[in-house]
Amino acid sequence: MAGKVKLDAVDRQILTDLQDDGRMTNVDLAKRAGISAPPCLRRVRVLEEEGIIRGYHADVDPESLGYTVQVFAFVGLTSQAEADLQQFEDMVSAWPQVRECHMLMGETDFLLKIVAHDWDDFQKFLTSRLTPAPNVSHVKTALAIRSAKNMPGVPVDGVDD
């Protein structure tokens, strides 16, 4: 896992541009960062090796693949022992419908982002997988109506937009 690494303005520009367009060519990336292509490629490799850049992904439209429902599930567990928390995380990691899993502090143990083809598909997942899962004490759900913002990554400090 990447720790706090000192990044200069060129590194921050590279990160900003790659978050906006992970398919940008190295030549275009270098031009935008104000350096030549070979040192730009070296900087990208260092950012990858340090774990700052964790990967590159396609932004796939869920509806084009038939996923019309997005639900957030607030899950409470019976036990919060570390082994039980890890077991729950491992279990939901194996479920493709669960796109995100976050352990929370407070009255809810986990927040899950779940996609489904339709409401019936989600209900089947909820009643056959999530609710009866080991150590699950309760589940509250919220159906997403629409998303106004969905930005990958994080703000890269020091870069003007």
| CATH number for the domain harbouring residue 72 | 3.30.70.920
Q: What mean pLDDT is predicted for residues 125-135?
A: 97
Whole-number Cα distances in Å, 46 to 40, 42, 102, 156: 10, 6, 28, 17
56 lies in a domain?
no
Q: Over the chain, what is the mean pLDDT?
A: 93
When pLDDT is cut at 50, 70 and 90, the band that residue 152 belongs to is confident
The Cα 104–Cα 28 span in angstroms is 40
Query: Any idea what the Cα angle at residue 26 is, between residues 44 and 158, rounded to 5°?
Result: 55
Cα atoms found within 13 Å of the Cα of residue 140, Cβ hemisphere only: 6
88 lies in a domain?
yes
Q: What mean pLDDT is predicted for residues 54-80?
A: 96
Q: What mean pLDDT is predicted for residues 110-116?
A: 98
When pLDDT is cut at 50, 70 and 90, the band that residue 161 belongs to is very low
Looking at the structure, tell me whether residues 135 and 83 fall in a common domain.
Answer: yes
Looking at the structure, tell me whether residues 75 and 109 fall in a common domain.
Answer: yes
Q: What is the pLDDT at residue 4?
A: 67
Strands (E), the chain: 69-77, 98-103, 110-116, 136-143
Query: Any idea what the Cα angle at residue 140 is, between residues 86 and 107, rounded to 5°?
Result: 60
Looking at the structure, tell me whether residues 127 and 75 fall in a common domain.
Answer: yes
Q: What is the pLDDT at residue 151?
A: 87
Give the domain extent around 33: 9-49
